[in-house]
Structure 1
Amino acid sequence: MRGVTRSLVVPVWRTLPWRALAAAGALGLLAAGFPALTGAEPAPWQTLVLLRGVALIGALGLAFLLDDPARHLTTPVPVRRPLRQALRVAMVAPLAALWWTAVLLVAPSASRPPAGDITLEAAVVGVLALAGAAAAVRLTDEARPGAAVVAALLLAAVLAPLLEPDGRALFVPPEDPRWPQAHDRWAALLVAVAVAWTVCGPEPVGRRRRRG
């Protein structure tokens, strides 16, 4: 099994959606650095909205991570799909961490929200994108579900702030006294989304049998 996994490293690396990831990364960095480029001094709420938007841009790139043109050819291999997906994430995770660090560095430091809290929000959005992609792969035979996941993420980004209950708000500014409680909920949401991603990882037994 270990030898088979190693033999997958190069093929998986070659099939990663580098164009989508690079486009999202470049656009996110440009957006985060725009105030510095223009000499603007945004208010704290404006920087918060900016960083949340950049986190969404990064998640849109991650939505394509599980796109695999050879999906139907790799299903019969001895390495299970969760491990193949984990291999894709492991290859991209260090680059994503470096990218987000760069985003925080180029964002306006004077009005930037707490780095740990906004990073938690970005992690939730990123893992949500991966969970959505995993769910699309599990529930459909689509080899490239990324575009559909992007559409769902954009819809969720528009509706979530409008539909959230007042007593359990997530999208609050740093000066709001509910900020700590909101990020306790962000942490719980991260766990829930990660569990959903794990559940969606394995291929349904019935589908494996039909292909066998």
Structure 2
Amino acid sequence: MRGLTAVRGTLTMDLTVPLWRTLPWRALAAAGALGLLIAGFPLVTGADPAPWQTLMLLRGAALVGALGLAFLLDDPARHLTAPVPTPRLLRQALRVALVAPLAALWWTAVLLLTPVASRPPAGGVTLEALAVGALALAAAALAVRLTDEARPGPFVAAFLLFTAVLTPLLAPEDWALFVQADDPRWSVGHDRWAVLAAAVAVLGAGCGPEPSGRRRGR
């Protein structure tokens, strides 16, 4: 058991540099820059937004960041790496782990760019951003599991945009997912955001392993 753990640890270290090089840096950088521009719009223009406007800017920045994450599992060499001894779930988890610190720094910058006077509670809006990002990653993992597409990112991003448009229209009003910070339902709504984040994270992890039938075929 210890020998197997040591071998997997060595394989993980050997994979880190190649995975770092193959991450979709252009998509991530473009999404990050656009998100910062959205959040910093009042600072650049000298505007004094109302609290609901600042919340909309933060939600928009979170969605843009999630669109960048939709490309995170794109792997042009997917069909070449399938036979390697390191499980696909571990490779995907390593991709997420490499980007997570940068994403946390980016979101901190997004929050700091918004006006303090109209900024919503950081915890609640951060939970929303986590849930949307987890949804993007889960959708990407599902696309990788169900298809042989090496770069499902564009399709996942389109799905995410479609979901972002329809959810406010179709979600039951008593779910209170998109209420303002001064709404009494803010706390209850974010309990549901926490459940949503946990559910899509479990879904993404469950989609990570490659189906046994496909492994045997290869």
Specify which of 75, 79, 88 is matched with residue 72 of structure 1: 79
Structure 1 position 102, deviation (Å):
0.3
Q: Which residue of 1 aligns with 2:115?
A: 108
Q: Which residue of 2 aligns with 1:142?
A: 149
Matched, 1:177 2:181: no
Matched, 1:123 2:130: yes
Counterpart residue identity of residue 10, structure 2: G
**Unaligned residue ranges in structure 1 (runs of 5+):** none
Q: Which residue of 1 aligns with 2:29?
A: 22
Q: Which residue of 2 aligns with 1:62?
A: 69
SS in 2 for 1:68: coil
Q: Distance in 1 between matches of 2:68 and 2:98?
A: 14
Specify which of 160, 172, 180 is matched with residue 165 of structure 1: 172
CA-to-aligned-CA distance 1:134-180 (integer Å, 9 cap, x gap): 00000000000000000000000000000011222211001111111
Number of residue pairs matched by the alignment: 211
Q: Which residue of 2 aligns with 1:209?
A: 216
Q: Distance in 1 between matches of 2:214 and 2:116?
A: 50
Counterpart residue identity of residue 182, structure 1: G
Contact 2:75–2:150 (8 Å) recurs in 1:
yes
Specify which of 154, 158, 161 is matched with residue 154 of structure 1: 161
**Unaligned residue ranges in structure 2 (runs of 5+):** 1-7
CA-to-aligned-CA distance 1:118-144 (integer Å, 9 cap, x gap): 000000000100000000000000000
Q: Distance in 2 between matches of 1:172 and 1:207?
A: 44
Specify which of 40, 50, 59 is matched with residue 43 of structure 1: 50
Task: Give me the TM-score of the superposition, normalised by structure 2.
Answer: 0.95
Counterpart residue identity of residue 99, structure 1: W
Task: Give me the TM-score of the superposition, normalised by structure 1.
Answer: 0.98
Counterpart residue identity of residue 145, structure 2: R
Contact 2:176–2:186 (8 Å) recurs in 1:
no
CA RMSD of aligned residues (A): 0.7
Counterpart residue identity of residue 97, structure 1: A
Q: Distance in 2 between matches of 1:198 and 1:5?
A: 18
